[in-house]
């Protein structure tokens, strides 16, 4: 794969643990399911470390024939409380402000309905030309379909000038599958460390990303 370009033309972001911290709400909803199935609860740290793929990909393996009942319990609990828990990740608002000269979008494995509600709740809808969540496309990350959907809605094409910014190896795999630049944000400590991520570019924090974007904007956007 060719080296990533020096500057992006489009910025796509993962949501949870990249721009937003909603793990307490996700953990609470999962624990409502686990209680119904007499399974041990997860801490927020457990949830952050274990949740990667979307519900429609993970629940059939976890709950077998009763996965749809588990799904309904999860979404009922999430509906009740997720907006009380969601908050910006440190530096995320700075990164979005610094990225304003470029088209920006979100691609997440959080169900689209809840994802868009959280974007609105944080007052960030104006930043994004597309917000694509789990269930919106024909498949979820690491499949490239949701990235293609977001780019199509933004009038852009998938190439190396698109940066997909996320916090996990799964995000980097989705970027590679789509043929865009895989950009890791954070230290990857919850995901086995940065050496497991196979990224193209790495920013230790959202503040570091913001600094790079501000510098690129000062230099002019091609």
Model confidence at 222: pLDDT above 50: no
C-alpha closest to that of 18 among 168, 129, 135: 168
C-alpha closest to that of 107 among 171, 58, 159: 171
Q: Is residue 4 part of a domain?
A: no
Contact assessment for residue 114 and residue 133, using Cβ atoms and an 8 Å cutoff = yes
Model confidence at 221: pLDDT above 60: no
Number of domains in the chain: 2
**Domain final residue, candidates 85, 103, 138:** 85
Residues 158-191 pLDDT 10s: 999 999 999 999 999 999 999 999 999 998 877 7
Cα–Cα distance for residue pair 128/115, rounded to 1 Å = 12
C-alpha closest to that of 124 among 136, 140, 108, 142: 108
State residue 194's pLDDT score. 84
State residue 135 phi and psi, 5-degree precision. 90, -10
- pTM, full prediction: 0.86
Percent of the chain residues topping a pLDDT of 70? 98
Give 104's pLDDT tier (boundaries 50, 70, 90): very high
Residues 25-82 pLDDT 10s: 889 999 999 999 999 999 999 998 898 888 889 999 999 999 999 999 999 998 888 8
Q: Which residues of 31-65 are buried (b: 16+ CB within 10 A; e: fewer)?
A: bbbbebeeeeebeeeebbeebebbbebbbeeebee
Partners of 164 in beta bridges = 12, 182
The 3-state DSSP class for residue 88 equals strand
Mean pLDDT of 207-213: 97
Instruction: Mark whether 140 and 66 lie in a shared domain.
Output: no
Model confidence at 14: pLDDT above 50: yes
**Domain final residue, candidates 85, 112, 128:** 85
State residue 87 phi and psi, 5-degree precision. -150, 155
Contact assessment for residue 147 and residue 136, using Cβ atoms and an 8 Å cutoff = no
Mean pLDDT of 91-109: 98
Q: What is the domain extent for residue 75?
A: 23-85
Structure tokens that stand for 213 in this block = 């974007």
Instruction: Mark whether 121 and 200 lie in a shared domain.
Output: yes
Instruction: Mark whether 192 and 148 lie in a shared domain.
Output: yes
């Amino acid at each position: 794969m060719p080296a990533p370009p020096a500057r992006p033309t489009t910025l796509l972001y993962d949501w949870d643990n990249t721009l937003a911290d909603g793990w307490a709400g996700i953990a609470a909803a999962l624990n409502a399911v686990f209680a119904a199935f007499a399974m041990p609860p997860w801490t927020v740290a457990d949830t952050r470390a274990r949740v990667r793929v979307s519900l429609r990909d993970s629940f059939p393996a976890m709950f077998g024939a009763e996965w749809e009942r588990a799904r309904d319990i999860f979404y009922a609990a999430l509906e009740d409380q997720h907006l009380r828990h969601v908050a910006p990740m440190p530096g995320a608002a700075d990164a979005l402000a610094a990225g304003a000269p470029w088209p920006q979008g979100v691609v997440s494995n959080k169900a689209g309905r809840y994802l868009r509600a959280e974007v609105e709740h944080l007052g960030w809808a104006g930043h994004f030309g597309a917000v694509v969540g789990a269930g919106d496309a024909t498949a979820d990350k690491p499949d490239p379909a949701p990235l293609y959907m977001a780019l199509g809605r933004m009038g852009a094409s998938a190439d190396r000038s698109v940066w997909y910014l996320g916090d996990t190896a799964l995000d980097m795999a989705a970027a590679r599958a789509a043929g865009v630049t895989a950009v890791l944000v954070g230290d990857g400590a919850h995901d086995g460390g940065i050496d497991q991520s196979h990224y193209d570019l790495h920013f230790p924090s959202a503040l570091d990303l913001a600094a790079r974007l501000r510098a690129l904007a000062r230099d002019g956007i091609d």
